[in-house]
Amino acid sequence: MTSAEPVIFVTGTDTDVGKTFVSSLLALKWQANYWKPIQTGLESDQGDSLTVSDFYSKHHSFKWHPAIFKPAVELRKPLCPLDAVKCDPTASEINLKDFVLPDISDTCKVIAPLIVEDAGGVFVPLNSKCEITTDLIKKIIELTGRPVYVVVVAKRGLGTLNHTLLTHDHLKSNGLGEHVLGCILNGPKNTLNKETLELFDVNVIAEIPIYEETSHLESFLDCIPPLSDIINES
Ligand SMILES: C[C@@H]1NC(=O)N[C@@H]1CCCCCC(=O)O
């Protein structure tokens, strides 16, 4: 393992599209660590880091257990970061200039690909300077010596085309096109979505079926290609 292990930035077309579940699967399949840099909503939710940790605790048989790095920013209100800060007199404005990556030194033996999960999608406002998630991706590219790739999680069913195409278009027009690996469609299927997204040059990395208590995770993992395959294709 080397410090050139990639960073995979997992964004979504919306909140609640299954980003945390998909991130947990990706961490397992790609033997990656996990980091949610900005977490909001902690007054009513345990937070995604704990959800990922629970996923791994439930499945003791997994051969891989990721290191889960603590969020850089934790906010109580279930809002975008800008508004969560506004509603909390004890919180301070997010300043991307001060942003630091988790300490992943060669000595701590957790050098592996890193899954970074965002809060809510690429255009989510972070601060009153109108910085958004896309600026966070750019910051991570600037700070890390590792290759950075973006994966977009989207609903698999009806109502995904507009959001997915807009998200890809936004990433491309912000100079991040070369970093985008494609999208992962999650949930109940809509037959033609994959074909239509591909017509518009969006790579569909995987389609993940609905997860139920009785589901076999192996079949979910089989849906996801090895990381080296999609990096080499991109
Ligand atoms: C509350 C949840 N916590 C979190 O970390 N992501 C969600 C926040 C999503 C913000 C969506 C802003 C919007 O598009 O309205």
Contact, 154 vs 12, CB < 8 A? Answer: yes
pLDDT of 233 reads 78
Q: Is residue 1 part of a domain?
A: no
Q: Which residue ranges have their beta carbon within 6 Å of ligand 1? A: 15, 39-41, 78, 80, 119-120, 124
pLDDT at 17 over 60: yes
* Total domains, the chain: 1
Higher pLDDT, 105 or 14: 14
What the block records as the tokens of 223 is: 């849906």
Contact, 80 vs 124, CB < 8 A? Answer: yes
ipTM higher than threshold 0.90: yes
Q: Is residue 82 part of a domain?
A: yes
Nearest atom within ligand 1 for CA of residue 120: 9
Backbone angles phi, psi at 173, to 5 degrees: -75, -10
Looking only at the bridges linking them, the beta strands covering 148-155 and 73-74 are unpaired
In the chain, the DSSP E strands lie at: 7-12, 33-35, 38-39, 68-69, 73-74, 114-117, 148-155, 180-186, 204-208
Q: Is residue 187 part of a domain?
A: yes
Looking at residue 177, the DSSP 8-state letter turns out to be: G
Cα–Cα separations (whole angstroms), residue 32 to 100, 187, 198: 19, 23, 27
- In terms of phi and psi (left: phi > 0; alpha: psi -120 to 50; beta: otherwise), the region of 175 is left
What is the identity of the amino acid at 144?
T
CATH code, 77:
3.40.50.300
Mean pLDDT of the 203-228 span: 90
Distance 128 CA to ligand 1 centre (A): 16
Domain that holds residue 88: 7-233
pLDDT at 26 over 70: yes
What residues act catalytically? 36
Contact, 124 vs 40, CB < 8 A? Answer: no
pTM of the predicted structure, to 2 decimals: 0.95
pLDDT of 104 reads 64
Q: Is residue 2 part of a domain?
A: no
pLDDT of 29 reads 96
Looking at residue 132, the DSSP 8-state letter turns out to be: B
Looking at residue 21, the DSSP 8-state letter turns out to be: H
Distance 79 CA to ligand 1 centre (A): 5
